[in-house]
Amino acid sequence: MTTATAAPKGLEGIVAAETEMSFIDGEKGVLEYVGIAIDDLARHSCFEEVVYLLWNLKLPTVTELDAFKAELRGRYALPHGMLERIKRLPKDAEPMHVLRTLVSALGMHDPDPNAIDPKAARHKALNILGHTPTLIAMFDRHRKGEEIVHPDTSLSFAGNFLYMLNGERPTETMERAFDACMILHADHGLNNSTFTARVVISTLSDMYSAMTAAIGALRGPLHGGANEGVMHLLNDIASPKDVPARIEGMLERKEKIMGFGHRVYKAYDPRATYLKTLAKQLAEDTGNSALYEKSSAIEKVMEAKVAAKGIYPNVDFYSATTYHSIGLDLDLFTPMFAMSRVSGWAGHVLEQLADNRLYRPKAAYIGPHGVAYTPIGER
């Protein structure tokens, strides 16, 4: 039995919220944060400024940005007891499961975890954003048996994370590339994990629950794991000269090429434009030129074969090369996405709370009616 009007699968095309944070035109390949082109922000801004922009809907003055940076840096250190919790985690646990669990655990260190008035919600958002890099870096060093590196509040969000992760300050190129990745992943309309965060907070739950749920949504391979798939593909191809045969064969077998195509974009992903340039520079600086050359060769084959169908590289394609060149393990790629997207999730939570209505969509029932109950002895 079917309904007269079929419900769109996956809520395709349904407008479920209003936002002032990001605008997307998939046909033209446009992404703007509060009206500013993402490429301009990636080239000229910094992650902290972008977070301020998303949460306040305006660019900060020098004084406002300095104050915001100081606020965020004051949240790098974890609450008392969290490091001991990290050290008790299994070393073979998957980082996304670890991150989801630890962000949830942060709520137990908050004396008033359920407060959702504007001031309290913003305070908790800053805490989670500041703590997330520390959680990820400390777990990574714990699982490798390395000495824990505590945060350095003199460093930027991007620089401090790489310092805590690797035990040494990053090069300027590494820090800039990673900062750009954070900017590019910060927000992207009502994507699945952002929708999840808004649904949870619409019940008037709490910031920790909304962020935890969003991380769970992002962990799914149809959402946040594409750059891991890109890296697997790059690792499986021996050299750039092997690319055409491999990719053409995959296309003939109708296999998905990870990092190409997007649910929204039918043009070149605007987030990938500058990232491609940064990935090239970083690969050259870190001795990973062959990796970038393989990426470039894949793009050339795909451009010739499927660009006419609106299939172009997305942000995940060159972020894989970038993350690898920085020295990140493969299973940290999706946590990097989450670390950035906390800013967007939190912004949407603040936006939802400002004009809230409980999400309660309908489901179209397509089952039978009037079915007689059969006693158990007659079945």
Distance CA 331, CA 328 (A): 8
Which residue bears the tokens 């007269």?
4
- Of 86 and 261, which is predicted with more confidence? 86
CATH of domain 10-222+333-354: 1.10.580.10
Which one is catalytic: 131, 142, 262, 348? 262
Percent of the chain residues topping a pLDDT of 90: 84
pLDDT digit string, tens, across residues 147-191: 999 999 999 999 999 999 999 999 999 999 999 999 999 999 999
Q: Is the pTM of this model over 0.75?
A: yes
| Pair 348, 21: CB distance under 8 Å | yes
pLDDT of residue 342: 98
Q: Which long-range contacts (CB under 8 A, 24 or more apart) does 306-310 make?
A: 306/251, 306/260, 310/261, 310/266, 310/267
| Mean pLDDT for the stretch of residues 119-143 | 98
Looking at the DSSP bridge assignments, the partners of residue 313 are 260
Among 296, 320, 315, 319, CA closest to 247: 296
Task: Please state which of the ranges 19-33, 53-67, 80-94, 250-264 shows the lowest mean pLDDT.
Answer: 250-264
355 among known catalytic residues = no
Question: What is the residue-averaged pLDDT of the chain?
Answer: 94
Residue from 39, 140, 179, 316 carrying the catalytic annotation: 316
Q: Where in the chain is the domain with CATH 1.10.230.10?
A: 226-326
Tokens standing for 70? 């100081």
pLDDT at 5: 64
Rounded to the nearest angstrom, the gap between the alpha carbon of residue 318 and the centroid of all alpha carbons in its chain is 14
Q: Give the chain's length.
A: 379
1 pLDDT exceeds 50?
no
All CATH 1.10.580.10 domain ranges in the chain, comma separated: 10-222+333-354
User: Does the annotation count 262 as an active-site position?
Assistant: yes
**For 321-337, what is the mean pLDDT?**
94
> Which residue did the predictor score with more confidence, 20 or 227?
20
Strand partners, 36: 33
pLDDT of the residue at 13: 80
Q: Taking residues 184-201, report their average pLDDT.
A: 96
Average pLDDT over residues 112-118: 97
Edge-first strand listing for the sheet containing 22-25: 22-25, 30-33, 36-37
- Say which range, 6-15, 72-81, 256-265, 330-339, has the weakest mean pLDDT: 6-15
Residues 196 and 200: their CA atoms lie apart, in Å, by 6
pLDDT higher than threshold 70 for residue 101: yes
Q: What is the crossing angle of helices 207-218 and 95-106, to 10°?
A: 170
Q: Which of 200-214, 223-237, 278-292 has the highest mean pLDDT?
A: 200-214
Q: How large is the average pLDDT for residues 98-121? A: 97
pLDDT value of residue 262: 84
- CATH class in words for 226-326: mainly alpha
Question: Mean pLDDT throughout 108-130?
Answer: 97
Q: What is the pLDDT of residues 334-365, one digit of tens each?
A: 999 999 999 999 999 999 999 999 999 998 89
